[in-house]
Structure 1
Amino acid sequence: MKRIFFIAFLLINMTAFAQTEKTGNTPKKLVVDFFEAFHAQDTIKLKSFALDGIKMQSVSMDAEGNTKLSSDDYSKFLKSIASIPADASFEEKLHEFRVEENGLLATVTTPYLFYFNENFSHCGVNSFQLVKFNGEWKITSLIDTRTKKNCD
């Protein structure tokens, strides 16, 4: 009898895990979907991935070698994506995904190379902070680095 309960327990857990994977309800999937919407300039989808009041920051070095931290509103980011001319091309090529998930919190980092009109612009690393609300991952913070050095 204990064996039957144990086997049933395993089957229920495997089914629940498979459903989560099938629906794509993972931190990595959210970031992949984010970049698909980003490249498609789909600001409605981009807005749906983020929590209201998302914190956006970027880290870079100025001409004197000082670290510069800038912050921006997500709404300004969405407007900038929507304003890219149709004849312009842009691509953020991601190298890998590093995912740390712990219950309701996840961090996804993605090293990248960014191209505008097929010309290299800059490289860096994106770091997404995600929180799971009612079973759905949302971006709460996004910080990136930007440089033109050591991009290989």
Structure 2
Amino acid sequence: MSRFLALLSCAFLLLPVTAQDRSVHEVRAKIDQMFDGMRAGDSTAVRDVFAPGARLVSSGNRPDGTPVMQASDIDGFVTAVGSPQDRAWNEKIWNVEIDVQDNLASAWMEYAFFLDEDFSHCGVNHFQFARNSEGAWKAIALADTRAREACDLDPVDLATSEVETALRHYLRGHATGDGSHHEMVFNPVASLYWMRDGELNTRSSEAYIAGASGSPADNESDRFRYVDWVDVSGDAAVGRIVLDYPGAYIVDYMSLLKIDGRWQIVNKIFSVEN
């Protein structure tokens, strides 16, 4: 509870993102795109994360402790993602640390890889990114370590990753105007609350989803949105989402519960600054 209150009090002090902050969130979005693409078996989304000629490197140890490294290009990995799989490649990440210097970025994170929800292995990922001439971040290298034992997985870390994944469906609903993304994450009984001219307003999630535009906004390229933070306790979680749009700065606070094994939004409150 104390952690949540500290996060909440800090959140009200935050201003729209700076250029440096935006770069960090853009890099994080590319990382999430790769893992969401893996989960969905979407090779096109995964390939879009990487620059031509990007390399994959896996580091480990032989049984006698001798270090061993395997390197390959990205094509084989992308092809494997798009091949039919009996179970989803479900990689959960946490403790993501991103450092941006000019047009280069580096990202470290811990991970656990699951087939659906069956644990396979764990380790650390290290991405290197460069910004291309079009201003887009592209991964130029991805390295990882892998272990099948000595994986001390914290349930809170895993749940935090799951909540972030659920909230990205909400973000995709905004980006595409496709209400089915919101339908995936909102519980049918969820409601939305906000203040306007000193009066409390409310709307059902059903009405909210039905009002989806069906297509991206005309100024979608100028809109910026991200999951700011998530706090999890057992089967309950809260998350803060920022929607930084031309003429509007919107902050959403989501309450989520894990229902039938799936994280769902049960309540949303938000504020709008014009």
TM range (shorter): 0.7 to 0.9
**Partner of 2:111 in structure 1?**
112
Q: Please show how residues 59-138 of structure 1 align to structure 2 within 5 Å.
A: 59-85=59-85, 87-133=86-132, 134-138=134-138
Displacement of 1:101: 0.6
**Residues 140/149 of structure 1: CA separation in 2 closer, same or farther (3 Å cut):** same
Aligned sequence identity (%): 26
**Partner of 1:39 in structure 2?**
39
Distance in 2 between the 1:16 and 1:112 partners?
27
Displacement of 1:31: 0.6
Q: Is the 8 A contact 2:111 2:123 kept in 1?
A: yes
Distance in 1 between the 2:148 and 2:84 partners?
22
Q: Is the 8 A contact 2:107 2:128 kept in 1?
A: yes
Displacement of 1:91: 1.0
Distance in 2 between the 1:127 and 1:16 partners?
25
Identify unmatched segments of 5+ residues in structure 2: 1-14, 153-274
Task: Tell me the secondary structure at the aligned position of residue 95 of structure 1.
Answer: strand
Q: Is the 8 A contact 1:106 1:130 kept in 2?
A: yes
Distance in 2 between the 1:114 and 1:70 partners?
18
Task: Tell me the secondary structure at the aligned position of residue 95 of structure 2.
Answer: coil
Distance in 2 between the 1:47 and 1:132 partners?
16
Distance in 2 between the 1:105 and 1:24 partners?
11
Distance in 2 between the 1:145 and 1:24 partners?
23
Q: Is the 8 A contact 2:91 2:112 kept in 1?
A: yes
Q: Please show how residues 15-30 of structure 1 align to structure 2 within 5 Å.
A: 17=18, 21=22, 26-30=26-30
Distance in 2 between the 1:81 and 1:63 partners?
29
Q: Is the 8 A contact 2:35 2:90 kept in 1?
A: no
Task: Tell me the secondary structure at the aligned position of residue 108 of structure 1.
Answer: strand
Displacement of 1:75: 0.6
Deviation readout 1:58-77 (Å, 9 max, x if unpaired):
00112222111001121101
Letter in 1 for 2:94: H
Distance in 2 between the 1:128 and 1:24 partners?
13
Q: Is the 8 A contact 1:130 1:141 kept in 2?
A: yes
Q: Which is bigger in relative contact order (C-alpha 8 A, separation at least 6)?
A: 1
Deviation readout 1:94-115 (Å, 9 max, x if unpaired):
1221001111000011100111
Identify unmatched segments of 5+ residues in structure 1: 1-13
**Residues 39/24 of structure 1: CA separation in 2 closer, same or farther (3 Å cut):** farther
Letter in 2 for 1:121: S
The number of aligned residues is: 136
TM-score norm. by structure 1 comes to: 0.79
